[in-house]
Amino acid sequence: MFSFKWCHLLIIFHVLVATPMSSLTNSSDQLSTKFLDIAKKPEVFDWMVKIRRKIHENPELGYEEFETSKLIRVELDKLGIPYKHPVAVTGVVGFIGTGSSPFVAIRADMDALPIQERVEWEHKSKVPGKMHACGHDAHVAMLLGAAKILKQHENEIQGTIVLVFQPAEEGGGGAKKIVDSGALKNVTAIFGLHVVPEIPVGEVASRSGPLMAGSGVFEAIISGKGGHAAIPQLSIDPVLVASHVIISLQDLVSREADPLEPQVVTVSKFQGGGAFNVIPDYVTIGGTFRAFSREGLKHLKQRIEQVIIDQAAVQRCNASVNFHDEDKPLYPPTINNGDLHKLFVDVAGNLLGMDKVSADNPPVMAAEDFAFYQVVIPGYFFRLGVEYDSSEPPQSLHTPYLKINEDALPYGAALHASLATTYLIKYQQDVAKVVGEYHDKL
């Protein structure tokens, strides 16, 4: 008897590349088309819109998504979908399918941003200073939509689909906490998406390889000696010293990094003093650094610390640098698996038409904590068009004016459902093929 072992995963994964999608039975194609039709029906569409609006009205920041998490669990209960909770504080991990291997995950993030909404509409945020300005409300609604559709087709699922509702994408590293919880232990692939207001509804974009940068934050206190602004010789002015530090930090990208490897260092925070005639004791500066490789990130981190401390010392100041490793972990770069890219292009092309799939979308320096999954599991992240009105300039993510076209919700739900089911079908076929080849060799 051939007994399947996890070490064969690697072989299977390579076979995934070799098996052309055309050799798949029609079942996955037909299933995908069916999923989109179902997602557009009022039973699913109106339900998703209602959920999205409810979450939009009550935005919650990272690790505080208590009501959002509860709403998700109530809906999963109604659908008869079992789940684990709490995972990573407020996270919910649901299961649909056979309950046994193979396992594939689809993920949504739940957190909002500390932004005051400026869009006047019926479902405007009811919480002052908080808004779903990154569209995670839509992400949750679409993953629930996928769950509803998948549950209706549970007997056609050839394995287990793991629904990941994670907390704290916006800087809190919720994905890392999900990984650390062990909830994804059996999972061999994970898919995630992000809404993009600049892309029309019904279109998607992504690429194989690096899609988004890795990032980290830094904060430094530069201490001098305060005093009367008219008698500078008796003080050590940290405002001027911090200014020199900021200038020196610009050398890291312009003079030390390979011009062909994109990197960013931005000082976005500069706080100190308050009076016109007082030199303050200290100044706080802070910002972000980004790169497309983990080595690049590590190098930047080390040099930022060195430059701040040494440059401050040149002018008699002490400096301490904090990278907030505990609450804002270093985000790895988001790097898409090549085999999953092929699967995505086939599934999305079949569902939307090849002309609606941008398969070599340029990378961006924004970061995404989906990357934490990709460190441990092959993963794939793509952009979903949610353009509100093509006659207006789009309002970007993270602005108080963001508007999302809810007509996009069925596309996200159907893509989630199709990617997961197709992955499992293909996985099973490839296992069968590997087992067959193994027997042939005996």
Ligand X SMILES: *[C@@H]1O[C@H](CO)[C@@H](O)[C@H](O)[C@H]1NC(C)=O
Residues contributing to the annotated binding site for Mn(2+)? 134, 136, 170, 194, 398
The Cα 391–Cα 183 span in angstroms is 44
Q: For residue 55, which amino acid is it?
A: I
41, 70, 185, 228: which one contacts ligand X (CB under 6 A)?
185
318, 320, 358, 428: which one contacts ligand X (CB under 6 A)?
318
Q: How far is the CB of 416 from ligand X (least distance, A)?
A: 19
73, 85, 225, 269: which one contacts ligand X (CB under 6 A)?
225
Q: For residue 288, which amino acid is it?
A: T
The residues binding Zn ion (CB under 5 A) are: 134
Q: How far is the CB of 236 from ligand X (least distance, A)?
A: 5
Please report which helix (H) or strand (E) contains residue 281, including its range: none
Choose one: 264-272, 315-323, 369-377, 429-437; the region binding ligand X (CB under 6 A): 315-323
Q: How far is the CB of 326 from Zn ion (least distance, A)?
A: 21
Which residues 27-86 are close enough to bind ligand X by CB under 6 A? Answer: none
Of the pair 134, 283, the CB lying nearest Zn ion is at: 134
The Cα 29–Cα 427 span in angstroms is 15
φ/ψ of residue 132, rounded to 5: -80, 75
Tell me if 188 sits within 8 A of 181, measured CB to CB.
Answer: no
Choose from ligand X, Zn ion, none: what does 8 bind? Cβ within 5-8 Å by kind.
none
* Nearest residue to Zn ion, scored by beta-carbon proximity: 134
Q: Which of 216, 330, 210 is nearest to 264 (CA)?
A: 216
Of the pair 124, 185, the CB lying nearest ligand X is at: 185
100 lies in the site for ligand X, by CB under 6 A: yes
Choose from ligand X, Zn ion, none: what does 179 bind? Cβ within 5-8 Å by kind.
none
Burial level of 333, CB count in 10 A (0-12/13-18/19+)? buried
317, 345, 352, 420: which one contacts ligand X (CB under 6 A)?
317
Neighbouring C-beta atoms of residue 279, cutoff 10 Å = 23
Q: What angle do CA 364, 289, 139 make, to 5 degrees?
A: 45
Q: How far is the CB of 310 from ligand X (least distance, A)?
A: 14
Peptide bond into 102 cis (omega under 30): yes
The Cα 151–Cα 412 span in angstroms is 16
| Gyration radius from the chain CA atoms | 24
Please report which helix (H) or strand (E) contains residue 426, including its range: helix 409-441
Choose from ligand X, Zn ion, none: what does 134 bind? Cβ within 5-8 Å by kind.
Zn ion
Q: How far is the CB of 312 from ligand X (least distance, A)?
A: 9
Of the pair 168, 220, the CB lying nearest Zn ion is at: 168
312 lies in the site for ligand X, by CB under 6 A: no
101 lies in the site for ligand X, by CB under 6 A: yes
The Cα 381–Cα 427 span in angstroms is 19
115, 141, 149, 236: which one contacts ligand X (CB under 6 A)?
236
Choose from ligand X, Zn ion, none: what does 408 bind? Cβ within 5-8 Å by kind.
none
Of the pair 203, 346, the CB lying nearest ligand X is at: 346
Choose one: 56-64, 145-153, 178-186, 347-355; the region binding ligand X (CB under 6 A): 178-186
Q: How far is the CB of 306 from ligand X (least distance, A)?
A: 17
Tell me if 164 sits within 8 A of 398, measured CB to CB.
Answer: no
The DSSP annotation for 170-191 comes to SSS-HHHHHHHHTTTTTEEEEE
# of chain residues touching ligand X (CB under 6 A):
15
158, 223, 248, 361: which one contacts ligand X (CB under 6 A)?
223
Contacts (Cβ under 8 Å, ≥6 apart) of 97:
150, 154, 157, 158, 159, 160, 161, 424
224 lies in the site for ligand X, by CB under 6 A: yes
Q: How far is the CB of 26 from ligand X (least distance, A)?
A: 4
DSSP 8-state symbol, 283: E
Choose one: 107-115, 149-157, 222-230, 335-343; the region binding ligand X (CB under 6 A): 222-230
DSSP 8-state symbol, 364: B
φ/ψ of residue 328, rounded to 5: -130, 75
Q: For residue 408, which amino acid is it?
A: A
Of the pair 44, 110, the CB lying nearest Zn ion is at: 110
Tokens of 309: 């401390």
Of the pair 12, 144, the CB lying nearest Zn ion is at: 144
26 lies in the site for ligand X, by CB under 6 A: yes
Q: How far is the CB of 101 from ligand X (least distance, A)?
A: 6
φ/ψ of residue 195, rounded to 5: -70, 145
Of the pair 238, 333, the CB lying nearest ligand X is at: 238
Handedness of CA 45, 48, 49, 50 (dihedral sign): positive
Query: What is the contact surface with ligand X in residues (CB under 6 A)?
Result: 25-26, 100-101, 182-183, 185-186, 223-225, 236, 316-318
